[in-house]
Amino acid sequence: MRSQTYNFCSGPATLPTAVLSKAQAELLDWQKMGVSIMEISHRSPEFTAVAKKAEQSLRQLMSIPDDYAVLFMQGGATQQFSGVPMNFFGLCEGKQAGYVDTGIWSRKALDEAGRYVDARLVASSKDSNYTRLPESWALDEKLAYVHYTPNETIGGVEFPHIPDVGDIPLIADMSSTILSRPIDVSKFALIYAGAQKNIGPAGLTLVIVRRDLLDATPHSALPPTMNYRLFDENDSMLNTPPTFGWYLAWLIFDWLIEAGGLTAMGEVNSRKSARLYNYLDASDVYHNPIHPEARSWMNVPFVLKDESRNAAFLKFAEEHGLLNLKGHRSVGGMRASLYNAMPEAGVDALIDVLTKFAES
Amino acid sequence: MRSQTYNFCSGPATLPTAVLSKAQAELLDWQKMGVSIMEISHRSPEFTAVAKKAEQSLRQLMSIPDDYAVLFMQGGATQQFSGVPMNFFGLCEGKQAGYVDTGIWSRKALDEAGRYVDARLVASSKDSNYTRLPESWALDEKLAYVHYTPNETIGGVEFPHIPDVGDIPLIADMSSTILSRPIDVSKFALIYAGAQKNIGPAGLTLVIVRRDLLDATPHSALPPTMNYRLFDENDSMLNTPPTFGWYLAWLIFDWLIEAGGLTAMGEVNSRKSARLYNYLDASDVYHNPIHPEARSWMNVPFVLKDESRNAAFLKFAEEHGLLNLKGHRSVGGMRASLYNAMPEAGVDALIDVLTKFAES
């Protein structure tokens, strides 16, 4: 059955079949130990070796500079909406935390930050109904950091390059764009990402942070399980981490390295999305509302010009093995998520089904 | 290989082979959907059905009254050390949070609570070097709640029954004792537990809380991802939950129901630990320091009277397929964890190896 489907879920998203097959083969007996990787202590030499290898593979893939800590945490990106301002509370004293608003997720991050620090909008594309990138940015020396969302998973809006904020520390929620192409980590103060798109299963959260920022005085009520410095000091094992997710992330990092790394993935992902956008733009039946300069490689929302046929389309797609194309409950329509584990053949199959349905 | 081992890890702990086999069989193609359970939206009808069934099975197993919420969270018990006082901040105004000290974990919970509320010790067994239960309890009407740790995973100390604290709300870190026997949930205000002992894989945390307590005013800095009320209102899907762990927990709950429920498990667990303690007590070679009334069914620490032979014993045990018997790094010696997934034959095998090593 699996070989007859393509899964366009926005997250928890499709994972590489090769990785799942390996995990399946060794699920009950890992490395001939007679136990599952899920059943050993996170402090055992066997698991700490996995943990280290995962970090090394990620550092290699993303060319993460040595002065950045890589943390494996829990709670999802949503927990980081609180974690960023709480950890950087001291940085924000007498200053402001700047947020760029490009849609639902960046807005949530702003609203949450305002509970802890003086948070303000520095740019917004709301005027365009979030179909473009923000035009004017209000940057000044009062900003302790600038937070933005490189890819809005729901809106399908993506920054094609890293915004220039000068010397202001730049923080990014990369949940749905991390590992999709090469990224210059040195341009960032902090990157965070929920795992359930390009990294692994839900329940693991990555934080990549420049170590000098760990000296910032945190909010007095910051829970230890959200404290970057404590996680760095304890190799992300302050308490029991989500070991199975960490192991799967390692397998995925190595799958990406074998596939040619992020340069190769970037080329594939660029091709995949371009092919779909080109088809949608040429169509009289379908429509993607996002301005070409802001279109996401990862999440392609689209609507039928005749919206009464949405349900019929989704049913037709499912009958052809194309799963989870329904748009987010807040916007409706359709959405095709094209993360790393979605092969080019999946996009071809989608275009084929779009064509057949248009003709029907 | 797996059939030739018994895994005594204290957590992440051994899981039922039947459950892992089922998860393995459907890892790439769940319910003939052509995708893994890990690869579907937590908001899909298919996953929300799993989520509901898991909760129903747990309610059935533990006879959880209807006025209790069951929450599936992240961050481990350690995050609840912060979460309890932060969520119950309003309850503690003008009052004190009481903590019972029976070892490392309960002490950590107390220390963390003191960061948010006026926390004080109400009982301690430190005088006995944590080999007994606390004798005198200082309870009064100033207490907003009493927190205790029914089972100390490292020390191997367990309360054989629920302490009587009158009308004071009772809170328990049940990480290593939940599901090991029938528990009268109605005696508790709140129960929390990291999954990685008797529930499932690391990365999932259970909270069972009496709903009227959700009206308490939380600490102003409580992150939403730790907020009990928000989790209750959102069916534990405030954000993406650890879906694979939740699914495995469901399989384990149903495995327990099939095995006869918690009455049956309690009988088996009582027998398992009694057999091991009886052997250790009769031995001249091994020793368990805990007073019989306080001995844990789940975690049995023991030492060789000749401690210089610890390493030799662990090697010998491993050669005989008995894994992860090393004691916690803070106390040394050995520890056999006998959670639900450890069959009685595993205890027999351990006693056999203890005997052989003693004779050697």
Contact criterion met (CB < 8 Å) for B225 and A77: no
Task: Determine, yes or no, domain membership for B3.
Answer: no
What gap in Å lies between CA B264 and CA A256, rounded to an integer?
Answer: 47
Q: CB of A207 within 8 A of CB of A71?
A: yes
Q: CB of B50 within 8 A of CB of B250?
A: yes
pLDDT value of position B330: 84
Active site residue A246: no
Question: Which residues are registered as beta bridge partners of A304?
Answer: A286
pLDDT tens for residues B261-293? 999 999 999 999 999 999 999 999 999 999 999
Q: Among all residues of chain B, which has the CA nearest to that of A19?
A: B28
Which residue reads 């290699």 in tokens? A60
**φ and ψ at B222, to 5 degrees?**
-65, 120
The answer to whether residues B236 and B292 belong to one domain is no
Which residue of A74, A84, A337 to mutate against B (max B Cβ within 10 Å)?
A: A74
pLDDT tens for residues A211-257? 999 999 999 999 999 999 999 999 999 999 999 999 999 999 999 99
10 Å CB burial of residue A103 (0-12, 13-18, 19+) is buried
10 Å CB burial of residue A79 (0-12, 13-18, 19+) is buried
Task: Determine, yes or no, domain membership for A54.
Answer: yes
Residue B77 known to bind ligand: yes
Kindly name the residue from A101, A173, A232, A235 that is annotated as catalytic: A173
Work out the number of other CB atoms within 10 angstroms of the CB of residue A109. Answer: 27
Q: How far is B352 from chain A (nearest CA, A)?
A: 20
The answer, yes or no, to whether residue A305 has pLDDT greater than 90, is no
The answer to whether residues A271 and A254 belong to one domain is no
The answer to whether residues A265 and A254 belong to one domain is no
Which residue of A30, A38, A247 to mutate against B (max B Cβ within 10 Å)?
A: A38
The answer, yes or no, to whether residue B360 has pLDDT greater than 90, is no
**Helix B310-319 / helix B344-359 crossing angle, nearest 10 deg:** 130
Closest CA to B256 of B30, B62, B76, B48: B62
What gap in Å lies between CA B191 and CA B147, rounded to an integer?
Answer: 10
Residues 6 or more apart whose CB falls under 8 angstroms from that of B127 comprise: none
pLDDT value of position A213: 97
- A166 to A335, B63, B83, B256, B301: CA distances (angstroms): 35, 59, 38, 58, 57
B320: domain CATH number?
Answer: 3.90.1150.10
Contact criterion met (CB < 8 Å) for A12 and B321: no
What gap in Å lies between CA A315 and CA B205, rounded to an integer?
Answer: 36
Q: For A99-107, what is the mean pLDDT?
A: 98
The answer to whether residues A251 and A303 belong to one domain is no
Q: CA A291 from chain center: how many Å?
A: 21
Q: How far is A301 from chain B (nearest CA, A)?
A: 16
Contact criterion met (CB < 8 Å) for B29 and A1: yes
* Collapsed DSSP state (helix, strand, coil) of residue A289: coil
Residue B297 known to bind ligand: no
Q: CB of A107 within 8 A of CB of A113?
A: no
pLDDT tens for residues A16-71? 999 999 999 999 999 999 999 999 999 999 999 999 999 999 999 999 999 999 99
Rounded to whole angstroms, the maximal C-alpha distance in chain A is 62
pLDDT value of position A329: 82
Closest CA to A186 of A204, A205, A169, A203: A169
Task: Determine, yes or no, domain membership for A112.
Answer: yes
What gap in Å lies between CA B42 and CA A326, rounded to an integer?
Answer: 14
Q: How far is B116 from chain A (nearest CA, A)?
A: 7
Radius of gyration of chain A (CA): 21
The answer, yes or no, to whether residue B1 has pLDDT greater than 90, is no
Q: Residue A343, preceding bond cis, omega within 30 degrees?
A: no
Helices (H) and strands (E) in chain B, counts: 9, 14
What gap in Å lies between CA A251 and CA A248, rounded to an integer?
Answer: 5
Task: Determine, yes or no, domain membership for B142.
Answer: yes
The answer to whether residues B189 and B171 belong to one domain is yes
- Binding site: which residues of A? 10, 43, 77-78, 105, 153, 173, 196, 239-240
Task: Determine, yes or no, domain membership for A12.
Answer: no
The answer to whether residues A246 and A133 belong to one domain is yes
Q: Sort out which chain A residues have CB atoms less than 8 A from B9's CB and list them.
A: 35, 39-41
Which of B258, B284, B314 represents a domain boundary (last residue)? B258
What gap in Å lies between CA A236 and CA A240, rounded to an integer?
Answer: 9
10 Å CB burial of residue A36 (0-12, 13-18, 19+) is buried
Closest CA to B151 of B129, B122, B127, B180: B180
pLDDT value of position A88: 98
End-to-end CA distance of chain B: 26
Q: Sort out which chain A residues have CB atoms less than 8 A from B242's CB and list them.
A: 74, 201-203, 242, 245
Contact criterion met (CB < 8 Å) for A74 and B77: no
- The pLDDT confidence band at residue B125, using thresholds 50, 70 and 90, is very high
pLDDT value of position A150: 98
pLDDT tens for residues A164-201? 999 999 999 999 999 999 999 999 999 999 999 999 99
The answer, yes or no, to whether residue B307 has pLDDT greater than 90, is no
The answer to whether residues A250 and A336 belong to one domain is no
Contacts across the A-B interface (CB distance below 8 Å): 225
Task: Determine, yes or no, domain membership for A7.
Answer: no
Closest CA to A91 of A185, A180, A215, A258: A215
Task: Determine, yes or no, domain membership for A4.
Answer: no
- In degrees, to the nearest 5, what angle opens at C-alpha B203 toward C-alphas B5 and A67? 105
End-to-end CA distance of chain A: 26
Question: Which residues are registered as beta bridge partners of A192?
Answer: A173, A207
What gap in Å lies between CA B137 and CA B163, rounded to an integer?
Answer: 10
The domain of B127 spans: 22-258
* Percent share of chain A, pLDDT over 90: 97
The answer to whether residues A266 and A252 belong to one domain is no
Where do the DSSP E strands lie in chain B?
6-7, 68-73, 96-101, 119-124, 143-148, 151-152, 157-158, 170-173, 190-194, 205-210, 286-287, 299-304, 322-323, 334-337
Contact criterion met (CB < 8 Å) for B35 and A323: yes
Q: Sort out which chain B residues have CB atoms less than 8 A from A16's CB and list them.
A: none
The answer to whether residues B307 and B252 belong to one domain is no
Residue B308 known to bind ligand: no
What positions of B carry a catalytic annotation? 105, 173, 197
Which of A208, A233, A258 represents a domain boundary (last residue)? A258
- The pLDDT confidence band at residue B68, using thresholds 50, 70 and 90, is very high
The answer, yes or no, to whether residue B175 has pLDDT greater than 90, is yes
**φ and ψ at A147, to 5 degrees?**
-110, 135
Q: How many domains does one find in chain A?
A: 2
Work out the number of other CB atoms within 10 angstroms of the CB of residue B38. Answer: 26
pLDDT tens for residues B221-261? 999 999 999 999 999 999 999 999 999 999 999 999 999 99
pLDDT value of position B153: 96
10 Å CB burial of residue A104 (0-12, 13-18, 19+) is middle
pLDDT value of position B31: 94
Q: For A299-325, what is the mean pLDDT?
A: 95
pLDDT value of position B332: 87
What gap in Å lies between CA A60 and CA A210, rounded to an integer?
Answer: 16
Which of B199, B232, B258 represents a domain boundary (last residue)? B258
The answer to whether residues B86 and B165 belong to one domain is yes
Half-sphere exposure of A345 (CA within 13 A, CB side): 5
The answer to whether residues A248 and A294 belong to one domain is no
Task: Determine, yes or no, domain membership for A6.
Answer: no
Which residue reads 């034959």 in tokens? B345
Kindly name the residue from A30, A197, A232, A246 that is annotated as catalytic: A197
- The pLDDT confidence band at residue B11, using thresholds 50, 70 and 90, is very high
* Collapsed DSSP state (helix, strand, coil) of residue B156: coil
Q: CB of B123 within 8 A of CB of B133?
A: no
Q: For B302-308, what is the mean pLDDT?
A: 91
Q: For B300-314, what is the mean pLDDT?
A: 93
Q: Among all residues of chain A, which has the CA nearest to that of B242?
A: A203
- Binding site for L-glutamate: which residues of A? 10, 43
The answer to whether residues A204 and A342 belong to one domain is no
What gap in Å lies between CA A143 and CA A153, rounded to an integer?
Answer: 26
pLDDT tens for residues B313-352? 999 999 999 999 999 888 889 999 999 999 999 999 999 9
pLDDT value of position A24: 98
